[in-house]
Amino acid sequence: MIRDSSPADDRKQSVARNPKASHDYHILETWECGIVLTGTEVKSLRNGKASIKEAYARLRNGEVFLDGMNITPYEQGNRYNHDPVRTRKLLLHRREIERLIGAVEQKGLTLIPLELYFKQGRAKVVVALGRGKQQHDKREDLKRRVVERETARAVSVRGRR
């Protein structure tokens, strides 16, 4: 039996999301990057035991690190278990890192993780470059979403008649 590489093989299995990121930041650009993990961390991620709500990315010595991501220790990991909130290295190309360094240091932007997932068996993190929103920006976003939801609802009701 011959298997062809169809789009079904490119599916991603989501582990954790950060829904508050789009509420708290203006998302300017996103990157998909790999993450350096230990064996028990991978097993725990496959069980869906992770949180990136408090996580943020930081640039140090020309490398990108993810701080504050919580991966619950693996239940059968015994003494080989990992520290749940340790700093993890993100894997990006040199040009991407240089671009991030310029944006973060000169423009005062922030690196926020948006989603953690498995793609073709490898753990990936989507990191976004964002600018913090003011309180009035958050209110305007909420109002705009409510109006869009109401108009979509009105259009769908109208289409059923």
SS3 category, 20: coil
Number of structural domains found in the chain: 1
Look at residue 73 and tell me if it is in a domain. yes
pLDDT for 122-148, tens place per residue?
A: 889 999 888 887 777 778 888 888 999
- Using only C-alpha atoms, the chain has a radius of gyration, in whole angstroms, of 19
- Domain extent, residue 62, equals 12-132
Query: d(Cα 130, Cα 133) in Å, to the nearest integer?
Result: 9
Look at residue 48 and tell me if it is in a domain. yes
Q: Which residues pair with 114 in a beta bridge?
A: none
Query: d(Cα 110, Cα 129) in Å, to the nearest integer?
Result: 6
pLDDT for 29-65, tens place per residue?
A: 889 999 998 888 888 888 888 888 888 888 888 899 9
Look at residue 158 and tell me if it is in a domain. no
The whole model's pTM is what?
Answer: 0.75
∠ CA 128-131-135, rounded to 5°: 125
SS3 category, 76: coil
